[in-house]
Amino acid sequence: MTMESAQSKSGRAVPLAACGLAAAVALALLPIGGWIAPGASIPALLIREAVWWFLAAAVLAWLVFAERLPLSSIGFRRPAWKTLLFAGLGAAAIMLVFLIHFAVIVRVFHLDTSATLDRQRMLLGLPYWVRVLLVLRAAVVEEILFRGYIVEKVRQLTGSVAPAVALSVLAFTAAHFGGWGLVHLIPVSGAAVVLALLYVGRRDLPCNMLAHFLTDGAAFLLQ
């Protein structure tokens, strides 16, 4: 590659990354699935889940075909034994965050968790196979969007980890506002910090996905 072509590629990388980042954040936060398939029926829910998978596929397509970067650039790599180890540690840390929230913070500050409990009862009332799909989608799609892509694009654009972690945490927390209530955002933000730091420390997206799956699975698949 000549110096001129390398500079041209470098010049395109920044606007492409910025456009991809803006689109990923906007698409992740807009209730697109709700616009397409409103309602509480199982078919509507499955359509909304399909929309999430489509958004993740679109982001990956942009990364590969527009930015011309490999999937490894956002942490996709072959799992190893450390993947399992750190996923377990990450899941344990997230569960500890939720334990402290419900056992200490909620009681000390007399917080109203009715919205959270109502949402949890609704999800637990779904057929088991639907819950499996929900947990799997959350683990895979949310880690692609909120960790792999957002963290790497902010780091690429700013050269710094701190704003990458900050935007990842803010976007992930905001995406969980609907239906759960404000109180639920406290442990969600804590979980977002754990997952962001796990990704930054390991750059192992399968590790994040497994940690996320173990956490949500413990809450929605073991009951």
> For 170-193, what is each residue's pLDDT tens digit?
999 999 987 788 999 999 999 999
From residue 132, alpha-carbon distances to 7, 48, 123, 138 in Å are 47, 15, 11, 10
Measured distance CA(89)–CA(83) in Å, rounded: 10
Q: How confident is the model at residue 48 (pLDDT cuts 50, 70, 90)?
A: very high
Exposed / middle / buried, residue 166 (Cβ in 10 Å: 0-12, 13-18, 19+)? middle
Q: What is the mean pLDDT of residues 8-26?
A: 87
E strand or H helix that includes residue 105: none
Q: Is 178 helix (H, G, I), strand (E, B) or coil?
A: coil
Q: What is the mean pLDDT of the chain?
A: 93
pLDDT tens-place string over residues 89-134 = 999 999 999 999 999 999 999 999 999 999 999 999 999 999 999 9
Is residue 138 predicted with pLDDT exceeding 60? yes
Tell me what pLDDT residue 10 has. 60
pLDDT of residue 181: 85
Whether 28 contacts 55, CB under 8 Å: yes
Q: Where do the domains of the chain lie?
A: 3-220
Which one, of 196, 149, 169, lies nearest residue 23 by Cα? Answer: 149
The pLDDT value recorded for residue 223 is 79
For the stretch 54-70, pLDDT in tens is 999 999 999 999 999 99
Q: Which residues of 101-118 are buried (b: 16+ CB within 10 A; e: fewer)?
A: beeeebeeeebeeeebee
Q: What are the backbone angles phi and psi of residue 218, rounded to the nearest 5°?
A: -65, -35
pLDDT at 5 > cutoff 60: no
Kindly state the average pLDDT of the residues 145-159: 97
pLDDT exceeds 80 at position 8: no
pLDDT band at 3 (very low <50, low <70, confident <90, very high): very low
